[in-house]
Amino acid sequence: MNDFFITGTDTDCGKTYVTCALLRDLRRRGYEAAGLKPVACGDRADPRAMREAMGNPALDLNIINPVYLRAATAPFIAAQLEGKELSAAGLAQTYKEMRGQYAPILVEGAGGWEAPVAPGETMADLAVALGLPVILVVGNKLGAVNHALLTLQGIRARGLECRAIVLNHSMEEWDAASVTNRQLIEQFSEVPVCAELIRGQVEIDSQAVLGI
């Protein structure tokens, strides 16, 4: 299976930034790649960026982002505020409906690995329902090693494979942590950091990250 679930160590670690970079490179290489954000909260900037990366500005945004909730908070709370009910199975169904139309599909979660989605369910349950290999985006900053290792523990505990790690450096200046994070993450996780993006970098080697 060449579809992937993209998660991150926390909110604003660069999941969409990395997803869009992957989509642009896949499209450049001739793939009919698509991004899917099953649920977005607060605004639809992420799915709009995915649509732009796909090079299809006329595509109905509801295809890329089937569930949009106005409150900028966890999907569970945002849905409650609108009197709606979410479920991991329901969100996974949006992926199944897209299959056959695009390949590969990059499914991006909302927030971090354990962001609440429904009573007793988090983004991790969505990942399990999808059953896809995981790409972990790590914000390259102080504390990144701890966040990466904890998230990897969660991925493995759910019986899923973390195919690759992408290190995303969103700050202008580099400190001791950002310089050494890659080495430590690879050493302690035994998962390769297949790409490292510096601030402003828009290109990525999708083959190195996804293996396709």
Active site residues: 37
Contact between 150 and 124 under an 8 Å Cβ cutoff? The reply is: no
99: left (phi over 0), alpha (psi -120 to 50) or beta: beta
Token pair belonging to 21: 């970079």
Q: Is 105 helix (H, G, I), strand (E, B) or coil?
A: strand
Q: What is the distance between the terminal CA atoms of the chain, rounded to a whole angstrom?
A: 10
CA distances from 212 to 43, 190, 205 (A): 32, 21, 10
Q: Say whether the peptide bond before residue 104 is cis (omega within 30 degrees of 0).
A: yes
Q: Which of 95, 93, 86 is nearest to 68 (CA)?
A: 86
Q: How many CA atoms lie within 13 A of 206 on its CB side?
A: 23
Cα 82 to chain centroid distance, Å, stands at 25
